[in-house]
Amino acid sequence: MAEIKIEETIDEHFDRIYRAALILSGNPWDADDLAQETFMIFSSQIDRFEGRSTVYTYLYGILLNLDRRERRKFGTRNRKLRVVWENETQNPHLSPAAEAKLEVDEWKKSLWSWVEKLPNGQRQVLVLRFAEQLRYDEIAESLSIPVGTVKSRIFHGLATLRSMLDNRFDVQEGLRDFISRGLPNSQA
């Protein structure tokens, strides 16, 4: 196995890990923490990486384990959706940047805010498949589950999303099309 250089790994994979963390957590502060901690753990445990998977699927595995730990630690799904400015004072120095608020507001309006409400297994596979464009086998490696389980969780996750959105309100046509399309016939 070739030597892995931490700086190059961070440069190559940080944006993808951050994006997945943002979708999982729902806000840029937690996403930044999750992404940074993912690379800290990777660098401190680099000797555990045996090369049986690609580096980025290994990093996703670390990220998903961190996300699970955070969800257990705080005991509520809504904790990830809570943002600083909901309880902020009027001091402008304590306010987050305008871009951060816009980023969170957009996320709350997106399909990913509905994905956040799914059970962990379904949520994780949908994030890895549709946000990160991972193949089934890469998702299976990241989560240490069989490919059949990945397919099942994607199927049930999409069905649950479809049901949640149909029951909640009449969805915008773009979101309905995305959910109705589901998975392509190939494993791309």
pLDDT tens track for 67-96: 888 877 766 544 444 444 444 444 444 445
pLDDT at 119 over 70: yes
pLDDT at 183 over 80: no
Domain boundary among the residues 67, 85, 104 is at 104
Q: Residues 1, 84: one domain?
A: yes
**Distance, CA of 172 to chain centre:** 23
Q: Residues 4, 44: one domain?
A: yes
Q: Residues 151, 97: one domain?
A: no
pLDDT band at 158 (very low <50, low <70, confident <90, very high): very high
Higher pLDDT, 92 or 134: 134
Higher pLDDT, 135 or 88: 135
- Between CA 121 and CA 146 the distance in angstroms is 13
Domain that holds residue 95: 1-104
Q: Residues 93, 62: one domain?
A: yes
Q: Residues 72, 43: one domain?
A: yes
Full-model pTM: 0.61
* Total structural domains within the chain: 2
Q: Residues 120, 95: one domain?
A: no
C-alpha dist (Å) from residue 149 to 30, 65, 136, 153, 173 = 28, 18, 10, 6, 30
> Taking the C-alpha atoms of 173, 115, 137 and 46 in order, what is their torsion angle to the nearest 10 degrees?
140
In this structure, are residues 154 and 183 in contact, taking their beta carbons and an 8 Å threshold?
Answer: yes
Domain boundary among the residues 47, 69, 104 is at 104
pLDDT band at 4 (very low <50, low <70, confident <90, very high): confident
